[in-house]
């Protein structure tokens, strides 16, 4: 199967999230250098995809392209019925707000805000009618992730707690797609294990499509499929092994 080249099939997840169809994707640096070239990638909705590869392989570049953040990209990235390449920057932002949750290696929280406010951050720019619902879901996610005392500023939180706030934020909007860039890299082993369990557990429970970039074999092992990148291109199964 040409379009799953580089992906090691594991087990198909429950379908609730958006399906992904990437074809002929080429991402260039502002100066024109090719950072990532991905001829084809197809995921059924609800799939958990692990992305691994050496540093500089283009993993983050892939996530940015999947989120519609790349400035210079050719080819198509289609989530469900939406072709990101046909949307302008504002349209892609709206799509992200509605459909995509993102998690970063260093959490990217506002230290000055409480866990509750961080998790409900998108409420600040969502239509007024959605704000209360979003806050309620964020609060529920925080509780679901075992965080209490969420009115406290996140400055005092541990790394594991911060990343759980970031997950709550990514899930609060009820997005059917979750993109995670090395979510355990800043955590100690115990916190990383807990996070892996939370992340994959929640994604599976909600049927979310999850693309997680990670060096962490324990996280990769929990994924349905794995894509290995090297030098901005997928590596075939044989090479990856």
Partner 1 sequence: MIALWDSLPVLAQDIAVTLALLLPGVLLGAGVLRGFAPWPLVRAILWRFRGPSVLFVLLIALSVGMGIGLLAQERGLRQGTAQAADKFDLIVAAPGSELTAMFAAVFLQPSDMGLLSGDTYSAIAAHPSVTLAAPLAFGDSFGAASIVGTTADFVRHLSDERIEGRLWRTAEEAVVGALVPLEIGGRFAPSHGTGDAAEPDGHDGHESAVVGRMAPTGTPWDRAILVPVEAVWEVHGLANGHAPERAGQIGPPFDAAYFPGTPAVVLRAASLGASYGLRSEFTRDGETMAFFPGSVLAGLYRVMGDVRQAMSLMALVTQGLVAASVLLGLFILSRLFRRQIALLRALGAPRRFVFAVIWSFSAVLLLAGAAGGLLTGLGAAQLLSAAVTSRTGVAVAAGLGWTEIQFIAAFVSAGLALSLLPAALVLRQPVIEGLRA
Per CB under 6 A, residues contacting ligand ADP are 29-30, 35, 53, 55-61
The DSSP code sequence of 136-162 is: HHHHHHHHHTT---TTSBGGG--HHHH
Residue 46 or residue 234: which is nearer to ligand ADP going by CB? Answer: 234
CB of 56 to ligand ADP, least distance (A): 4
Length of the chain: 241
Q: Answer with the entry of partner 1, ligand ADP, Mg ion, none that 11 interacts with (C-beta below 5 to 8 A by kind).
A: none
Q: Answer with the entry of Mg ion, partner 1, ligand ADP, none that 128 interacts with (C-beta below 5 to 8 A by kind).
A: partner 1
The sign of the CA dihedral 76, 39, 100, 176 is: positive
Q: Which residues contact 72 (CB under 8 A, 6 or more apart)?
A: 27, 28, 29, 30
Q: Which stretch binds partner 1 (CB under 8 A): 15-23, 101-109, 140-148, 185-193?
A: 101-109
- Rg of the Cα trace of the chain? 17
Pick out residues in 39-78 that bind partner 1 (CB under 8 A).
60, 64, 67, 69-71
Q: Which residues contact 192 (CB under 8 A, 6 or more apart)?
A: 160, 184, 216, 218, 219
90 binds partner 1 (CB under 8 A): yes
Cα 50 to Cα 7, 56, 113: the distances in Å are 9, 16, 31
Q: Answer with the entry of partner 1, ligand ADP, Mg ion, none that 55 interacts with (C-beta below 5 to 8 A by kind).
A: ligand ADP
Residue 123 or residue 211: which is nearer to ligand ADP going by CB? Answer: 211
Residues lying near partner 1 in the complex (CB under 8 A): 30, 60, 64, 67, 69-71, 89-90, 93-98, 100, 102, 104, 108, 110-113, 117, 121-125, 127-128, 131, 169
């Amino acid at each position: 199967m040409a379009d799953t080249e580089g992906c090691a099939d594991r087990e198909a997840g429950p379908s609730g999230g958006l399906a992904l169809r990437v074809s002929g994707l080429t991402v260039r640096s502002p100066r024109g250098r090719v950072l990532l070239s991905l001829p084809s990638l197809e995921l059924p909705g609800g799939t958990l995809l692990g992305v691994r590869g050496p540093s500089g392989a283009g993993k983050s570049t892939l996530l940015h392209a999947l989120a519609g953040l790349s400035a210079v990209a050719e080819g198509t990235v289609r989530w469900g019925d939406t072709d990101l390449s046909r949307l302008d920057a504002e349209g892609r932002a709206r799509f992200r707000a509605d459909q995509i949750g993102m998690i970063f290696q260093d959490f990217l929280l506002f230290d000055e805000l409480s866990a509750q406010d961080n998790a409900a951050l998108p409420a600040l720019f969502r239509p007024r009618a959605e704000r209360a619902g979003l806050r309620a879901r964020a609060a529920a996610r925080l509780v679901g992730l075992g965080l209490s005392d969420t009115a406290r500023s996140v400055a005092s939180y541990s790394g594991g707690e911060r990343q759980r706030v970031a997950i709550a934020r990514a899930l609060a909007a009820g997005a059917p797609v979750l993109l995670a860039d090395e979510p355990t890299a800043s955590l100690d082993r115990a916190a990383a294990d807990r996070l892996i369990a939370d992340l994959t557990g929640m994604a599976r429970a909600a049927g979310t499509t999850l693309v997680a970039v990670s060096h962490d074999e324990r996280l990769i092992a929990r994924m349905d499929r794995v894509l290995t990148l090297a030098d901005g291109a997928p590596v075939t199964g044989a090479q990856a092994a």
